[in-house]
Structure 1
Amino acid sequence: MINKSATIIALTAILIVSSFFGITKLQNSINNTNNNDPIDEFTQNAGYYQLDFIESQLSDGSFSAILKWIPSPNEIELKTSPVIRDLRATFQVDANDECEFKITDLNNSRFHLPENEPYPYTKQRYSKKQKEFNLFETEISQVGQKFYFELRRKSTQEVIFSTKDYPIYFTDKYIEVSTQMKDSMIFGLGDRRTDFLLKSGKYSLWARDAADVDNGTPGKEIYGFHPMYLRRDIINNQFQVTLFRNYYGMQVDYEQNSHLTYKVIGGNIDFKFFIGDSNPETSIKLYHNYANGWILHPFWSSGFHQCRWGYQNSDMLMDVWDNFNKYGIPFDSLWTDIDYMYQYQDFTIDFERFNITQMQQIYNLSDSRGVHWSSIIDVGISLDSYAAQKGLDMNVFIKSAKTNDTLVGKVWPGETYFPDFNHPNSTEFWYEGLKNVSSFGIIQDGIWIDMNEYSNFVNGEIVPDQNKKTKPFLTSDLSSSLPFNPLGDQEIEYHTLSLDAYHYSGQDGILYNSTNGYIPTQYDLHNLDGFGEGIATYKAAQKLGKKLTFILSRSTTVGSGKYVQHWNGDGFSTWEYMKLSIPSIMNFNMYGIPFNGDDICGLMFNATAQICARWQQLGSLYPFARNHNNADASSQEPYVFVDHPYVLSSTIKTLNVRYQLLKFYYHLFVKANGVGTIFRPLFWSYPSDDNAYQYETQFMIGDYLMAAPVVEGGDEIKETTHSCVYIPKQAVFYSFYDYTEYQEGEHCYEVPFDSVLPLYIKSGKILHIQDKNKVLRSRFLDNRFSLLIALDQNNYAEGSMLTIDDYNNDENIISNCVEQQNCIVDIKAQGNMGEDNSSFTVDLRIQKEKINTNFQTVIIDKIVVIGIKVDGKSQSKTIFLEENPLIVDGGEIQLDLQFQI
């Protein structure tokens, strides 16, 4: 949710957005004490680290070495950040395809996060711990020489990571380390709106309340903190993941096909490597396993969601609800933004504006028209609220280093406190607050945690002056002492908390146990604020009885996927933002939060009919699909574009497709079992096709479906857009709608505004869909399916499906499908043409995926065989089984289908 105080300024251009928006800041006067000049002066004259001696070596390739700083005669010490002169470099083999390289001070005394829950840590896996079985090998400098470290893939000798030609600097508050990047392309590296293939530039990593498009200029990072990238070796077509396990603010300077440099304001050098193969999914799964995997969402949240900041009372909610029901628009949840709160105070409802009887009617799931209630909880706690007093009594708020009292900032309700989610009482405090919301007679099914970077309407904090009045305190002593600002020209404390604000420091801290008496500050934990809130919210939701949780968090970091889901945050109703939503969702699939989406039709500015229609089409296949709007913009519910009826008709058609696919889509999440991607780039399925890397707006759903959304404007008179789809080399796809065959190459066509999302089935795949009747709520989808069998060149296809009949009961899913439980059957089909070329046989087999597969009753009553080749042309055949359906309820099933063509 955007900084809503910006409503006092007209949205005439992006550059005129209020500074409270937290989006684009006009920097008329900035205290520029944090500039790069001291760093330039230091690095131009600095010495280097020498390999002093090898401390230890193990048979698996692990080693430990001591480094000593050799100063330069002209060295100029950073005044506030002295060089750490003695270091320990270690390389550890964790598995044959997983390893870690670290540089720390000799006592490893600098602030760093533990390698255990809730943080990512190395899992014990079967691995032959001998050097000859490793997929990698290392090289380091000789004793007495300038230190370098190089990691290579053993089979190809590709360099995965190498500091050989680059300096290493390790000071108290500035660290610099580089690696070569020859013959490579990389993806990921932070929460940002940009192309999927990362271009050359300077990229900040710092959790910020912003909606920028990142063009490679420092200070354009947005809400989350994910210092990992997927790298492709272009020459050998091999993939690997590198995680820089450092949570401090940083700037990454990247030059394509040359090098990548990390410039960090604290911590240690700590790299974790996951060595994959020619399939990018391999190394991503290794990374997800390390990052503790991701949680499964409840099935209902897979449906469509409607939201707006600006539904100011329950009458407005009733109007939206009535119209969705009137026009037959499928949806599962109607959201409330901060409007529903009493004076924007967390854990409250303003009953003068929101009639509880109306709310209970809308959110009554026993009524066929009822929908789920999802609502926002902001992190700032109003000083005037009951929750503030409760939090003070429990001592759970972040403290000011200036006053040694509770830090005061400013958000929607005015002056606020901020929970310290390191405090052992914070989880109970958060639970009590969320329990209060559920005590009013309606249940908060989806929990939306926002502003958790932490976002603050003043820079730093508010402190009293000598006259007991208040004023913003703009910079802290700590931030002004930093020799480097990873945000470039933007102040690092801009619209967030003072970096010297301190957190709980006891040995029972939730995020950090201060066993050595160290007091963690915002400098240390800023990029973990949203992570901490996500954990507390997850624990509270479980305590409130939610089995499968749906928690939408704006700020995330490495490992957040185990607790929360995510959306891309605030954006504008433009073609550019719509287009860039696709790589953002792909990134978060890599980061381990695959249930992710963007604000359909855009949050800010007035969405045109054409943009909204195309965005509804695209958003129909987001993993998380929500139309969300800003109070200052024109309404954008699908039915409001009365002069352009194609918005409504297209939305209904494309959402009907979503609901046909809903159980298929959900089964991909269940089958993945918490690791791997769902919403993927085209090249994921075709990594050896160099052309596939150029089509960033086409995407795959699993390895089954390919979408080619229209993301550019079209002819307003003809109401069509000329668009193209690329079919990769040696691939065959079929239209999801009419089964037309598409072979390799680019195919162009006109797509009407009143259309559905161009969608294609990959040959060799079997989809299970539900295409019988229009369904307006996910809970009314039955257990009857159609199989779409898309044959490959060998007349073969395969797929899978769930064996459960009730997706609405979380306990049913957990007890049958999650973790060690299995509810998957594999489906395989082999076709054969008759000798007379007039008959065709399909041998269909359904068998349990694992020996412990659990079964309920699933019914298959229609089969469509696609891609039957007759005289070189594709035909399809539909077989109806209503009178004698195929019952899947245990054991192996074999069915021979023979038909004339």
Structure 2
Amino acid sequence: MNSFDVYFYLLKDNLINVDLVPLIEPEPFSIPGEVLNDTLYPDRNSSATENIMDYLNLPDVGEDFYFEIHTKGNKKDLIFSTKGQPLVYTNYYKSMGAHVYGTKMFGIGQRIGEFWKTAGTYAVWNRGAEHKVDDGINPGKNLYGSHPVYFVQRKKGGNDWVGIYEHNSGPQEFVVDFDGYGIDITNIKTTGRTNMFFMLNEEIDKVISNYYDLVGRPALPPRWAFGWHQSRFGYNTTDVLREVHQGYVDDELPLDGLWSSVDVLKDFRSFTVDEENFEGIKEFINEIKEKGTRYVPIIQSGISAGNSDAYFDGIKNDVFMMAPGDQSNPIIGRSTAGDVVFVDFMYHGAPNYWAEQMKKLNEKLPFDGVWLDMNEITSECDGYCYRNQRAEDPIDNRLFYWPGGRDLEQGTVSIDVQHEFGAKELDTHSLYGFWQTYFSNRHFTNSERRPMVISRSTFAGSGKYGGHWLGENESWHENMKQSIDSILLFNMFGIPFVGDNVCGFKYDVGVGTCTRWYKVAVIYPFSRNHNNFGTDPQEPFIETFDMIMDKSLNVTATQIMRKAMLTKYGLHNYMYTQFHIASTEGRAPIKPMFFNYPSEPYSYDYVSNSVLVGDAVLASLDHTNGGRQYYYFPGRGEIWCPIWKIAKYECLQGGSRTSSKIPIDEIWLHIRAGHVIPLQLSDVDKFDNITGLRSLDDMANYYTDIGILLDSDNAADGVVRFDDGETTDLEQYDEIKIHAQGDIPWVGKNTIDIEFEITHEGTTEITNSQRIGHILLYNAKKLGFVNKTKGEIVDYDYNVFDVLVEYDEKMDMSRISFASPSALPIKKIRKVHLQQPY
């Protein structure tokens, strides 16, 4: 067993770093500072006001080494303990057992499966593989990304959590077992060192925020990225792309992003455009951009060997990963392009090479974002395609434990590849997608453009440079449910801009399943339809989707899909505000119910059925095969009202569980009592009359309504943020906080005052989307504010305008407009006063 030094740091209050540094030569690999928030690590600039020893129990002299983390100042209130647990620390096998005092656990990604972790063995090692539910039994079903972090609830029903992160990019495994006293977790690594971070003893949203601070707060994508995207493996000419775009236009379907898979590449070679089949592609891209649709091409990790400019440029600049056998030739992998080589992003010349290739590609395909694929790295060869590239003395001969229970080189390059400064691929493998995302991000930021980078492979900290799609999913209704679990987990991992292939990538999807998937995708941060070559088309405008889905309403699948898109766009200002807050304040935008309702058991049981968007909106997701399922509306004593009209419109009591079959044409989104939300396109009855809405750019032409649902104290609060959707200066935004307070006296007339306060002001140009349309007062009859309500709106220049009220009895909602000569900017409003008629 190797000797090691142990360092304990309190990086800030409630964030502890425990670093076990082996005393060996050469020193073990240290992950570069770009991966985490470098102000916290590796610089370790502590902002703590407390003492690290207030949290630690350590052995006396002569005792075996252990350490325990406890709550501040209470040595007996243990959180994490290695006392009496096995500890082995050798060059290629590091195992540390620990007991974590808690009841529930989630995390350890990436994999397909339930949100909550159960007993089992879970590998962490980036791997391109089939989607299989991970049952915790080796061989592991780990997938594209490495997120060696887990979160534990310390006491059942309590909002007291701890997050634990293992900062290691080599192969590792977590062996998890539950007993009556907590959770036994053994972490096994083959390389690097044990370097742990503890986010302590706080409410779960604060623990997640602490983790966001550690890995770096997520990047904010450009506004258009939150819209609808269309892709397919099989769009193989410019004319086909044109037909797809025209299909959206003809059916009045919005489209923000049109994507190209490997079809656009000549012989599938990265950075080499097929100019014969894609003649006129540059002109086409510029044409659709004028109509609001951006273009995103694929970039695979492999560079075609021997027959592309990108290859010859790389050879000239010596930027490719070298074969360990002779160190004189690039290691060869294999993909759809044939033999390929891989950029060594840890080599000092790689950044300039990558920037030049991106620049050249952009000249031929003026792209607005990039799609990074196969970057785990994935290869069709296991380690080597050619025996002469094999290392003389492979590291694999010295391993006696393989996390995941399989050859670490299966489906990837050799773990013997050596990078600059001596690091081996064994140490750095799971960082490859991170680095590709990082340098692709710089292509945009160097030209002061907000990055839109979507990567299949991720690592802790990837979220501050790009987003993620969940990979090559299947096309069954259960895959919808799995996507929600994964999206929630990636929000916890600090990569909230995430989504799945809507309707599935593999196999032919059923019309009912695809229709429901569009409805579920309303709350996907990243919503893209994408499927495989050879499967049935699934663009929303195809003839297949002319099928009548509800004969009583005579509504087709396409009409329901369009309704889902317009609902998504109508919720956009609220969603965008949540993501702006995530980027600037570090709060997860999409989250499970137990974040806000920790004492309610059902909030843990229906994690993927009922999902919170921010604090104010609850989405009830129809991912069944047309059947019933349970939905929970949390918050005893609260109420939840549908935001958009549905057939059986009613406000539901918090703390109630319902078994429901959501009608095929309905999307259940509810506003929470006590909240104010920004909305557009708030009248679902007018969806059929909306024309010319081609993308989120066009939403700038639509006024923003303010939805209000008072709580039992007759109060409600909310916030909206506006910027231009493109600026890289995230301080250039307007924030308006809105507070509504009702006065419901025993004697006299009811009143409501709605106050608007500018809490942050940038230089954003005011568009119609930043002007007020209507105020939507939900649950209006109970408050007495119906047709004859009187009132006034006052702007910051003290101009006063009367209000006009239209009461919707079906929704029990008053729609309040204003007799002003033009729509007022929301940030120019001082207050609105409403009063019952005499």
Normalised-by-shorter TM-score class: 0.7 to 0.9
Give SS of 1:328's match: coil
Q: 1:486 aligns with which of 403, 409, 421?
A: 403
1:144 maps onto 2:54 in alignment = no
Quote the Cα distance in structure 1 between the aligned partners of 2:412 and 2:758.
52
1:847, distance to aligned residue in structure 2 (A): 0.7
1:355, distance to aligned residue in structure 2 (A): 2.5
Structure 1: runs of 5+ lacking an equivalent: 1-82, 466-471, 506-518, 715-720
Give SS of 1:502's match: coil
1:734 maps onto 2:651 in alignment = no
Q: 2:133 aligns with which of 201, 213, 238?
A: 213
Residues 588-737 of structure 1 mapped to structure 2, 5 A cutoff? 588-640=490-542, 641-642=544-545, 644-645=547-548, 646-674=556-584, 675-697=586-608, 698-714=610-626, 721-730=627-636, 731-737=638-644
Residues 525-544 of structure 1 mapped to structure 2, 5 A cutoff? 525-543=428-446
- Alpha-carbon distance change, 482 to 464 in structure 1, aligned in 2, over 3 angstroms: closer
1:671, distance to aligned residue in structure 2 (A): 2.5
CA contact (8 A) 2:11 2:46 kept: no
1:286, distance to aligned residue in structure 2 (A): 1.3
Q: 1:481-528, CA deviations, whole angstroms, 9 ceiling, x for partnerless residues?
A: 21100021x2210110001011123xxxxxxxxxxxxx1111111011
Task: Provide the TM-score with structure 2 as the length reference.
Answer: 0.88
In the alignment, which residue of structure 2 is the partner of 1:48? none
* Alignment-mate amino acid for residue 658 of structure 1: K
Quote the Cα distance in structure 1 between the aligned partners of 2:48 and 2:295.
50
- Alpha-carbon distance change, 439 to 584 in structure 1, aligned in 2, over 3 angstroms: same
Residues 286-325 of structure 1 mapped to structure 2, 5 A cutoff? 286-325=210-249
Q: 1:97-141, CA deviations, whole angstroms, 9 ceiling, x for partnerless residues?
A: 11111222236953232573343445378855443xx79621122
Give SS of 1:322's match: helix
CA contact (8 A) 2:71 2:201 kept: no
1:677, distance to aligned residue in structure 2 (A): 0.7
Identity of aligned residues (%): 26
Quote the Cα distance in structure 1 between the aligned partners of 2:147 and 2:621.
27
Give SS of 2:249's match: helix
In the alignment, which residue of structure 2 is the partner of 1:859? 771
Per mean C-alpha deviation after superposition, the further-off stretch among 624-633 and 402-411 is 402-411
CA contact (8 A) 2:173 2:403 kept: yes
* Alignment-mate amino acid for residue 631 of structure 2: V
- Alpha-carbon distance change, 354 to 845 in structure 1, aligned in 2, over 3 angstroms: same
Residues 12-161 of structure 1 mapped to structure 2, 5 A cutoff? 83-84=1-2, 86-106=3-23, 110-113=27-30, 116-121=33-38, 123=40, 127=47, 129-131=49-51, 137-154=55-72, 158-161=77-80
1:163 maps onto 2:82 in alignment = yes
Quote the Cα distance in structure 2 between the aligned partners of 1:668 and 1:205.
30
1:321, distance to aligned residue in structure 2 (A): 1.3
In the alignment, which residue of structure 2 is the partner of 1:34? none
Quote the Cα distance in structure 1 between the aligned partners of 2:316 and 2:595.
52
1:586 maps onto 2:488 in alignment = yes
1:92, distance to aligned residue in structure 2 (A): 1.8
Q: 1:745 aligns with which of 651, 656, 669?
A: 656
Tell me the C-alpha RMSD between the 2 structures. 2.5
In the alignment, which residue of structure 1 is the partner of 2:792? none
* Alignment-mate amino acid for residue 823 of structure 1: D
* Alignment-mate amino acid for residue 711 of structure 1: H
Give SS of 1:579's match: helix
1:611, distance to aligned residue in structure 2 (A): 1.0
CA contact (8 A) 1:689 1:728 kept: yes
Give SS of 1:331's match: coil
Tell me how many residue pairs correspond in the alignment: 774
Q: 1:429-462, CA deviations, whole angstroms, 9 ceiling, x for partnerless residues?
A: 111111112212x411110011000000101122
Give SS of 1:390's match: helix
CA contact (8 A) 1:97 1:136 kept: no
Give SS of 2:153's match: strand
Quote the Cα distance in structure 2 between the aligned partners of 1:366 and 1:214.
41
In the alignment, which residue of structure 1 is the partner of 2:818? 881
Q: 2:472 aligns with which of 541, 548, 570?
A: 570
1:859, distance to aligned residue in structure 2 (A): 1.3
In the alignment, which residue of structure 1 is the partner of 2:412? 496
Give SS of 2:284's match: helix
Quote the Cα distance in structure 2 between the aligned partners of 1:171 and 1:306.
50
Quote the Cα distance in structure 2 between the aligned partners of 1:188 and 1:885.
50
Q: 2:373 aligns with which of 431, 446, 450?
A: 450
In the alignment, which residue of structure 2 is the partner of 1:461? 384
CA contact (8 A) 2:102 2:152 kept: no
In the alignment, which residue of structure 2 is the partner of 1:63? none
Give SS of 1:794's match: coil
In the alignment, which residue of structure 1 is the partner of 2:699? 781
CA contact (8 A) 1:459 1:473 kept: no
CA contact (8 A) 1:305 1:626 kept: yes
In the alignment, which residue of structure 2 is the partner of 1:790? 709
- Alpha-carbon distance change, 366 to 456 in structure 1, aligned in 2, over 3 angstroms: closer
* Alignment-mate amino acid for residue 188 of structure 2: K
- Alpha-carbon distance change, 484 to 785 in structure 1, aligned in 2, over 3 angstroms: same
Q: 1:380 aligns with which of 299, 302, 307?
A: 302
Give SS of 2:506's match: coil
In the alignment, which residue of structure 2 is the partner of 1:17? none
- Alpha-carbon distance change, 112 to 900 in structure 1, aligned in 2, over 3 angstroms: farther
In the alignment, which residue of structure 1 is the partner of 2:119? 200
1:836, distance to aligned residue in structure 2 (A): 5.7
Q: 2:424 aligns with which of 496, 521, 525?
A: 521
In the alignment, which residue of structure 2 is the partner of 1:227? 148
Quote the Cα distance in structure 1 between the aligned partners of 2:301 and 2:393.
22
Give SS of 2:604's match: helix
Give SS of 1:388's match: helix
* Alignment-mate amino acid for residue 500 of structure 2: D
Quote the Cα distance in structure 1 between the aligned partners of 2:392 and 2:107.
31
Q: 1:173 aligns with which of 78, 89, 92?
A: 92
Per mean C-alpha deviation after superposition, the further-off stretch among 185-194 and 456-465 is 456-465
* Alignment-mate amino acid for residue 737 of structure 1: W
Quote the Cα distance in structure 1 between the aligned partners of 2:160 and 2:85.
24
CA contact (8 A) 2:272 2:308 kept: no
* Alignment-mate amino acid for residue 644 of structure 2: Y
Give SS of 1:339's match: helix
Quote the Cα distance in structure 1 between the aligned partners of 2:54 and 2:475.
46
